[in-house]
Amino acid sequence: MERRELARMIDHTLLAPAATADDVVSLCAEASELGVAAVCVSPARLPLAPGALAQGIAVCTVVGFPSGAHRSPIKAAEAARAVVDGADEVDMVIDLGAATAGRWTVVEADIAAVRAAVPADRLLKVIIESAALSTSAIVSACEAAENAGADYVKTSTGFHPAGGASVEAVSTMAQVVGDRLGVKASGGIRTAATALAMVEAGATRLGCSASRAILDGLD
């Protein structure tokens, strides 16, 4: 895969709680240089300064992050405010406790509440925390996301102790959603080899903080 092609699959990410406004400025400058698909920052770091990003790079943020253990109206309100603040894409965390308990109606309703707050012309990605779920639960989580109107399913927040993305989880997710939804692999992707393995497994977007190192690894 060519460097430019892989770059256009990357959400260049900075979600460290202590990230400063200056850190976000640096992230955006690097994203513009690398030619990535999007930057992903915490909602409190929005809106970005005018001209912070090169044309064609989307602004992504997170909702209900990182635990997902927020009431649905709070997630929806957070998503609506993020859109007002300039978010083109919203990555929400599911109610992981409900998913673990097999309460898929609750999971789907939670996603649907956020979808209702995010306009149809903005992307909604649903973080299922795949490393914390069984294979059958991954399948059910993806089905709930699709039923609720999501545009993508995403593996991980990168903050859960169970771990981040795996080739196995990405493959399962891609098989469930087919070409109807995108699949975002995120969490622990730090090398070109890992990134390419995720793409081979079916990922159509990658969440990465080590974007430069990954892209340099193609050279």
Question: Mean pLDDT in each 10-residue stretch from start to end of the chain (219 residues)?
Answer: 97 97 98 98 97 97 98 98 98 98 98 98 98 98 98 98 98 98 98 98 98 94
pLDDT value for 219: 73
Residue boundaries of the structural domains of the chain: 3-216
How far, in Å, CA of 104 to CA of 102, rounded? 6
Q: Rounded CA gap, 14 and 10, in Å?
A: 12
Write down the pLDDT at residue 101: 98
pLDDT value at residue 49: 95
Of 183, 204, 45, 203, nearest to 126 by C-alpha is: 183
Q: What is the pLDDT of residue 168?
A: 98
DSSP H/E element including 201: helix 192-201
Catalytic residues: 91, 154, 184
Rg (CA), the chain: 16
Nearest to 207 by CA among 46, 1, 61, 52: 61
CATH number of 3-216: 3.20.20.70
